[in-house]
Homo-oligomer: A and B are copies of this chain.
Amino acid sequence: MSEPVLHEQAARISFLLGTWQGAGKGEYPTIDPFAYEEEIRFTHNGKPFLAYTQRTWHPEKKHPMHGEAGYFRPLENGGIEIVLAHPTGIVEIQEGTIEGTRITTRSKLVGKTTTAKEVTQLERVFAVNGDVMRYEVRMAAVGQPLQHHLSAELKRVG
């Protein structure tokens, strides 16, 4: 199959396309601070969204830690919708804005399976500067108020 042409809608976030690798740090009142290494991939298939997959692993022991998968849906009005699933039993609907190469969203919905830990709110920022991506995640979970949870910096490697 030939490479599909990037959809004009997806082109609003073309700055995300590719494979990114880097490292991040996490913290939360209920757990010990932790570091991780990470790969994020954004791909397109010619339709008006980008597919997103993310996985993290332990910096020394290399075993897998977290993962996420979903889709980024830019809107014609400069907004964006993100749908995500987590192997921890969480789904997210994020909605927000695209400003230049910065995406800022907050959760319209966080859903959980019966056995998942309670997550009630998530805010996400993705900021790209050339081949460097930084993101931040703020979270309200397990009875704690919305606060900083994750930050990472990645470089485009492909």
Contact = CB atoms under 8 A, between A and B. Distances in A.
Interface residues of A, number: 38
B91 A73 contact: no
A95 B89 CA distance: 11
Interface string A30-60: 0000000000000001110101010100000
A115 B75 contact: yes
Interface stretch (A14-22, A64-72, A140-148): A64-72
In this complex, the member of A51, A69, A84, A109 whose beta carbon has the largest number of chain B beta carbons within 10 angstroms is A69
A23 interface: no
Contact of A85 (B4, B55, B85, B87): B85
Contacts of A108: 111, 113-114
